[in-house]
Structure 1
Amino acid sequence: MKIVPLSKAKYGMVIAMDVRDTTGRVILKKGTEINESIIYLLKKAGIFNIPINSTKIVSDLKKETEKHGVISKENLDLNYNKVKDLFKNLENDGHIDIDTVIDIASSIKEDLENNYSDKLFVPLKKLRDFDEYLYSHSLNVMIISSLLAIENKIIDDELLNISISALLHDIGKTKVPKEIMNAPRPLTGEEMNIMRNHVLYGKKLALENNLKDENIIGGIYEHHERYDGKGYLEGKKGSYITKFGRIIAIADVYDALTSVRSYKGPWTPYKTISFILTNVEKQFDGTFAQGLINAFGIYPAGTRVQLNNGQFGTVVASNRANKIRPLIKIDHGDIVDLSEEKSLRITKVLDYIYIE
């Protein structure tokens, strides 16, 4: 049992002991399952900390999402460990093991090409260990960038190259001091300059390790340029930014905003996609941003929703053919494909559950 703030209570948690109001009356019995209605009831009663136990709800949801997974859980974990070793070696001696880079990129590329379909779940590796954020972020950006590339008909060697570029997009951060990388506060002007220069450090590292492809280098060096020319380091604009740079910029922001950092909590995928769409033609290339919606849907997997019949549920897969009608696991019920159940629709977005 543990006590959690009501603000962090999620669907699937279970009340660990009777909850009483200020008069001593039991308002929720031990074993009650948390959902959005229960959270509303507790807020109304002025209760903001609750005793909870974990349940199998999320693991049951994982079984449903895995049926539509574009990458297998085993491959995700295996490649995360490879990325971790790759970056640790790079941090120690400045050497990039190109064979390992190609092995990781090829493995993810093969899974994506084999499993990409209309009903889709995109698993990402999210960690709470800030010291390992660079490794999980690099893997996630590679996955997302590759999906955006596939959505834009990028195939074969070019797809492999963008996977490589995305995997290595932040290698320059191995040259940034950890106290700046993980600072739980706003950076000073001098620290910000050091952080921004990670794209230059990354370009130099890539060239020193005989990575010569201009597009791969472009993705590493230009992923913080903005479509409106207000990015860094060179203030490039629009199509003057390489295609790889424009794609990786979207993937980089998506993963960063949906991750726990030392200085912030995560945004929901729903909120993050809304932010990216709002900033199309300002920060992002709209053509590639559309691919993000195709891959994750308007309601990404893990989004808690309410339907027009009053039922609550969790999105378990997006529907590329109809972005607003995903697959939903009804609470203690069946899977509903909204593309087939025409009388049902999502009326409210409630919360988000992270499903790996």
Structure 2
Amino acid sequence: MRLVSTQAVTEGDILAKTIHNDSGQVLLQEGISLSSRMIGRLHELGISFIYIKDDRTADIEIEEAIQRETKQNAIKTIKREFRVVSEKSTLNKAFNSPQMNKHFSKVIDEILNDLNSHQQALSILSDVITYDNYVFTHSLNVTVYTLRLALELNYNEKQLKEIGLGAILHDVGKMMIPLEILNKPGKLTDEEFSMIKAHASEGFEYLRKQHDVPLLAAHCAFQHHERLDGSGYPRGIQHNEIHEYAKVIAIADVFDAITSQRVYRHAMLPNEALELLYAGAGTQFDQSLVEAFRSVVALYPEGLSVTLSDGREGIVVKQNQSLTTHPIVRIIRENGCDLQDCYDLDLAQQLDVTIVKIESILANTV
């Protein structure tokens, strides 16, 4: 199978991986021939990338780090808890949610169980699921990235539970913001942008009043937009004033935000998103954390078409866990000619050869 942008899909392409909604219902079944109407629907649903059948890479198997049942349970819990927050805030009612910690702790345990049994680099691009609310899926994705990075940092069980809860609740303050502003396709006014920025403070104020939610989780919501150089918000604090959990969540938050399709911009690919994080390493983001994050995410997901520094063209077929920048690539074109006999090249064994370009039509969508 080959990973392609939905902008690059053509009528007649065969879907290689079933597309579900966040309740587990099948929207498009694997094996179906895509019509122009179906392709248009993919665009409407905000799906950036899909897998299509390709005989040269029919043997690619996509291992999902988080099981479908785990995702469905997590989204169900996030929806339920966050919607209560939204409804109560609309009515200007202060309230406690005594079961919130218990419910989310179960979700965190299930995610950790999946991550501990999956040693491959994370590629959430492989999760071809459509969601009905960006905040819900973003909260789940940030939690997955955060916990995977925390495992890489050798956090103990207590720390994993703490940072996991902080990650899943980091954007709860957005439930106090009208949807028409959160999902506005055009440029925000200064007033609207101020309302968006207020979600960090709003989330903190809500969480610190929840009797069963640790204050540390509230501070994760408060600080996840702070930056080392003081350029963040809401308080403009710097370096050691920012809790390490918030520094970790900030990286996961930015990475997921820019690799997700939004109404106002196309999704970036993981390698481009990491370049953006590196551009801010040492100034906005903790450099050691960015470097650790690089080792746990798949920068070039399986199925992605790439061009190598020596001109050969191929498709990524497998990750190298020890060196995520150098996956295994199936070479399909050499010296400008299609190959009858494709072969696999392990870039970790040939460090003088690197990926210099992704399929151009993919690059044009970001």
Instruction: State the TM-score, normalized to the length of structure 1.
Output: 0.74
Query: Counterpart in 2 of 1:313?
Result: 315
1:121/1:316 contact within 8 Å kept = no
1:71·1:122 contact (CA, 8 Å) conserved in 2? no
Matches within 5 A, 1:2-21: 8-10=7-9, 14=13
SS at match of 1:8: coil
Aligned-residue offset at 1:211: 4.4
RMSD: 3.3
Report deviation, 1:190. Answer: 1.3
Question: In the aligned structure 1, how far is the partner of 2:72 from the partner of 2:212?
Answer: 26
Contact kept? 1:223, 1:246, Cα under 8 Å: yes
Q: 1:256 aligned to 2:253?
A: no
| Amino acid aligned to 2:286 | D
Instruction: Return the structure number with greater relative CO, CA threshold 8 A, min gap 6.
Output: 2
In structure 2, do the counterparts of structure 1 residues 335 and 174 end up closer, same or farther at CA, with 3 Å as the change threshold?
A: farther
Task: Give the letter for the 1:82 counterpart.
Answer: T
Which residue is equivalent to 1:109? 112
Q: Report the structure number with the largest CA radius of gyration.
A: 1
Shift of 1:79: 2.3
Matched, 1:267 2:262: no
CA contact (8 A) 2:122 2:298 kept: no
What is the rounded CA distance, in whole Å, between the counterparts of 1:61 and 1:120 in structure 2?
21
Who is 1:286 aligned against?
287
Q: In structure 1, how many angstroms separate the alpha carbons of the residues matched to 2:78 and 2:330?
A: 33
Q: Match of 2:243, as an amino acid? A: T
Deviation at 1:175, TM superposition (A): 0.4
- 1:7, 1:78 → 2: CA distance? 27
Kindly provide the CA deviation profile for residues 31-75 of structure 1, in whole angstroms up to 9, marking residues without a partner as x.
Answer: xxxxxxxxxxxxxxxxxxxxxxx94349x7796121xx4322342
- CA shift in 2, pair 1:149/1:271, >3 Å: same
Q: Retained in 2: the 8 A contact 1:211–1:217?
A: no
Deviation at 1:275, TM superposition (A): 0.6
Deviation at 1:301, TM superposition (A): 4.3
SS for the counterpart of 2:117 is helix
- The answer to whether the 8 Å contact 1:169/1:202 transfers is yes
Partners of 2:204 and 2:112 in 1: CA distance: 23
> Quick one: which amino acid aligns to residue 109 of structure 1?
L
Shift of 1:128: 5.8
Residues 227, 237 of structure 2: 8 Å contact kept: yes
Distance 1:286 1:349, change over 3 A: same
**Pairwise CA distance, 1:284:** 0.8
Of 119-128 and 134-143, more deviation after overlay is shown by: 119-128
Instruction: Look up the match of 1:191.
Output: 192
Greater per-residue helix proportion = 1
| Equivalent AA in structure 2 for residue 204 of structure 1 | E
* Matched ranges for 1:1-356 at <5 A: 8-10=7-9, 14=13, 55-57=52-54, 64-66=61-63, 69-93=64-88, 96=97, 97-115=100-118, 117=119, 119-123=120-124, 132-301=133-302, 303-307=304-308, 308=310, 310-317=312-319, 319-328=320-329, 336=344, 338=346, 342=350, 345-351=353-359
Moved more, 191-200 or 209-218: 209-218
The code of the aligned residue for 2:114 comes to: D
Residue type at the aligned position of 1:91: S
Instruction: Give the aligned residue type for 2:116.
Output: E
State the number of aligned residues: 304
**Relative to structure 1, is the Cα distance of residues 231 and 214 closer, same or farther in structure 2, using a 3 angstrom cutoff?**
same
Partners of 1:202 and 1:340 lie apart in 2 by 44
Q: Distance in 1 between matches of 2:161 and 2:191?
A: 36
Deviation, 1:14, is: 3.9
Secondary structure in structure 2 of the residue aligned to 1:120: coil
Give the deviation of 1:324 after TM superposition.
2.9
Unaligned runs of 5+ in 2: 15-50, 89-94, 333-339
What letter corresponds to residue 64 of structure 1 in structure 2? E
1: CA distance, partners of 2:204 / 2:193: 18
Distance in 1, matches of 2:74 and 2:59, equals: 19
Q: Distance in 2 between matches of 1:296 and 1:249?
A: 15
> In the superposition, relative to structure 1, how do residues 159 and 333 fare at CA in structure 2: closer, same or farther (>3 Å)?
farther
Identity of aligned residues (%): 25
Q: Per the alignment, do residues 339 and 249 of structure 1 end up closer, same or farther by CA in structure 2, a change over 3 Å counting?
A: same
Residue 114 to residue 347, structure 1, CA distance change in 2 (3 Å): closer
Deviation of the 1:121 alpha carbon: 3.8
Query: Unpaired runs of 5+ in structure 1?
Result: 1-5, 16-53
- DSSP 3-state at the match of 1:208: coil
Q: Equivalents in 1 of 2:11, 2:322: separation in Å?
A: 30
